[in-house]
């Protein structure tokens, strides 16, 4: 049950946002085995003074088109599944949006089943 938060510099189109969310969702389906129609996601755009991509930290040349993707997921995915997800995101965004791999930062946060309530004040997976 992922919750995806995507942050990027301001100025992208609605079409870009929609394609970005769709391609991350498709990567979650293929890499992490996310259920169909499990699409909880938000995009936040930030001005120059409110967004840092750490420049060339670790020798990776990042641009102003840098995107931060943070997904909160149920714990239990294997390292291979996580690697498949990262690779699928990079491939999808390069193919569909011409985003460079260097400009994609992904963070997975794993939580227990009882850490999600999808509505009605109920922990549906606990």
CA dihedral over 46, 51, 56, 60, signed as positive or negative: negative
Which residues are catalytic, by number?
2
Beta bridge mates, 72: 3, 109
All residues at 6 or more sequence positions from 68 whose CB lies less than 8 Å from its CB, including other chains: 6, 7, 8, 53, 105, 107
Is 29:90 a contact under the CB 8 Å cutoff? no
In this model, does residue 101 exceed pLDDT 90?
A: yes
Q: pTM of the prediction?
A: 0.91
pLDDT at 36: 92
Mean pLDDT confidence for 73-86: 96
**Confidence bin at 105 (pLDDT 50/70/90):** very high
Kindly report, residue by residue over 30-39, the tens digit of the pLDDT: 999 999 998 9
pLDDT tens-digit map of 9-55: 999 999 999 999 999 999 999 999 999 998 999 999 999 888 888 87
Domains in the chain, start-ordered, CATH in brackets? 3-115 (3.30.429.10)
């Amino acid at each position: 049950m992922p919750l995806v938060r995507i942050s990027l510099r301001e100025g992208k189109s609605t079409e870009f946002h929609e394609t970005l969310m769709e391609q991350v969702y498709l990567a979650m389906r293929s890499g992490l085995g996310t259920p169909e129609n499990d699409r909880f996601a938000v995009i936040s755009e930030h001005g120059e003074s409110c967004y840092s991509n750490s420049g060339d930290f670790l020798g990776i040349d990042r641009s102003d088109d840098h995107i931060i993707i943070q997904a909160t997921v149920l714990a239990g995915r294997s390292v291979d599944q996580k690697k498949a997800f990262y690779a699928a995101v990079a491939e999808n965004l390069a193919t569909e949006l011409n985003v460079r791999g260097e400009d994609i930062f992904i963070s997975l946060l794993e939580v227990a089943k009882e850490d999600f309530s999808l509505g009605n004040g109920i922990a549906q997976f606990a």
